Chains A and B, each alone.
Chain A
Amino acid sequence: MENIVEITSSTKYFASSDVLANNQVDFAVRKGEVHALVGENGAGKTTLMNILYGLIKPDSGTIRFEGREVEVNHPDDALRLGIGMVHQHFKLVPSFSIAENIMLGMEPNRFGMLRKRDEIEAVRELADRFGLPVDPRTRIRDLPVGMQQRVEILKVLARDVKVLILDEPTAVLTPLEVTELMTVVRELARRGRTIIFITHKLVEVKEVADRVSVMRGGKMVGTAEVAETSIPDMARMMVGRQVILQIKKGTANPGEKVFEARNITVADSSGLPVVKNLSLHVRAGEILGVAGVSGNGQTELVEAVTGMRPVEGGAFFVNNHEITGTTVGERRRAGMAHIPEDRIRIGLNLETNLDENLVVSRYKLPTFNRFGFLLRGAMSRFAGEVVERFQIAAARPGDSIATLSGGNMQKVVLGRELSGDPKFIVANQPTRGLDVGSIEFVHQTLIEARDNGAAVLLVSVELEEIMSLSDRIAVIFRGQIAGEVDPDTVTVEEIGLLMGGSTLDGHAAGEAEEMQTEGAP
Chain B
Amino acid sequence: MISYRRRKLTNAILVPVLAVISGLVVAGFLILFTDVSPFQAIWEMFRAGFGCRSLDRCALFTTLERSTPLLLTGLSAVIAFRTGMFSIGQEGQLMIGAIMAAWLGFAVDLPPIIHPLFVMLTAMTAAGLYGWVPGFLKVKLGVNEIISTIVLNDIAILFATYLVNFPLRADRGTTAYSPVIDETAKLLVFMPGSKWGIGFVIALAAAAAVYLYLWRSTPGYEQRMAGESSGFALFGGIRNDRAAIRGMVLSGAVAGLAGAIEVLGVHYRINQDFSLGLGFDGLAVAILGQVHPVGVVLVAILFAGVRLGAQLGLQFSFGIPRELGGSIIALVILFVAASRLYENNLERIQVWIDRLRGRKTAVEAAVEESG
Residue positions of A touching B, CB distance < 8 A: 11, 13, 15, 18, 20, 23-24, 59, 218, 306, 308, 327-333, 338, 340, 342, 345-352, 356, 360-361, 363-364, 369, 372-374, 376, 400, 402-403
Contacts and interface: CB of A to CB of B under 8 A. Distances in A.
A213 B135 CA distance: 51
B237 A403 contact: no
B134 to A, nearest CB: 24
B347 to A, nearest CB: 11
Given A349-B229, A352-B224, A23 B236 contact: no
Contact of A360 (B8, B237, B367): B237
**Residue of A218, A340, A364, A373 contacting most chain B CB atoms (<10 Å):** A373
B210 to A, nearest CB: 14
Contacts of A364: 218
A33 to B, nearest CB: 30
A329 B222 CA distance: 12
Categorize the interface residue count of chain B: 20 to 34
Contact of A352 (B219, B228, B367, B369): B228
B366 A345 contact: no
Contact of A402 (B4, B218, B221, B237): B4
A361 B237 CA distance: 6
Given A332-B237, A345-B232, A360-B237, A18 B366 contact: yes
Contacts of A349: 225, 228-229, 232-233
Given A24-B367, A349-B233, A351-B228, 14 more contacts: A13-B366, A13-B367, A15-B362, A308-B235, A328-B236, A340-B235, A349-B232, A352-B228, A360-B233, A360-B235, A361-B236, A373-B212, A374-B217, A402-B4
A54 B351 CA distance: 26
Contacts of A308: 234-235
Contact of A403 (B1, B231, B239): B1
A403 B1 CA distance: 6
19 contacts: A13-B367, A18-B1, A20-B367, A23-B370, A308-B234, A329-B237, A329-B239, A332-B236, A345-B231, A346-B235, A347-B235, A349-B229, A352-B228, A360-B232, A360-B236, A361-B236, A363-B218, A373-B218, A403-B4
Interface in B117-162: none
Contacts of A329: 237-239
Interface of B: 1-2, 4-5, 8, 212, 216-219, 221, 224-225, 228-229, 231-239, 362-363, 366-367, 369-370
Contacts of A351: 228-229
A345 B229 contact: yes
B362 A338 contact: no
Contact of A374 (B218, B239, B370): B218
Contacts of A13: 362-363, 366-367
A11 B364 CA distance: 10
Contacts of A333: 237
A360 B238 contact: yes
Contacts of B225: 349, 352, 356, 360
Contacts of B228: 349, 351-352
A11 B367 contact: yes
Given A351-B229, A403-B1, A403-B2, A328 B366 contact: no
Contacts of A342: 231
Contacts, number: 96
Contacts of B362: 13, 15
Contacts of B221: 356, 363, 374
B237 A373 contact: no
A59 B370 contact: no
Contacts of A369: 218
**Residue of A306, A340, A350, A360 contacting most chain B CB atoms (<10 Å):** A360
B237 A327 contact: yes
7 closest pairs, A vs B, by CB?
A360-B236, A329-B237, A351-B228, A328-B237, A349-B232, A349-B229, A13-B363
Nearest to B234: A308
B340 to A, nearest CB: 15
A432 to B, nearest CB: 16
A119 B341 CA distance: 44
A346 B231 contact: yes
A361 B221 CA distance: 12
A345 B230 CA distance: 9
Nearest to A338: B235
Nearest to A347: B235
A145 to B, nearest CB: 22
Contacts of A347: 232, 235
Nearest to B235: A346
Contacts of A372: 217-219
B247 to A, nearest CB: 16
A20 B370 CA distance: 8
A306 B8 CA distance: 33
Nearest to A359: B221
A23 B224 CA distance: 39
Given A18-B1, A373-B217, A374-B217, A328 B235 contact: yes
Contacts of A402: 1, 4-5
A363 to B, nearest CB: 6
Given A329-B238, A347-B235, A369-B218, A23 B367 contact: yes
**Residue of B5, B229, B233 contacting most chain A CB atoms (<10 Å):** B229
Contact of B232 (A59, A327, A348): A348
Contacts of A352: 224-225, 228
B232 A346 contact: yes
A419 to B, nearest CB: 14
Contacts of A361: 236-237
Contacts of B1: 18, 402-403
A340 B236 CA distance: 11
Nearest to A406: B1
A372 B220 CA distance: 9
A302 to B, nearest CB: 11
B1 to A, nearest CB: 6
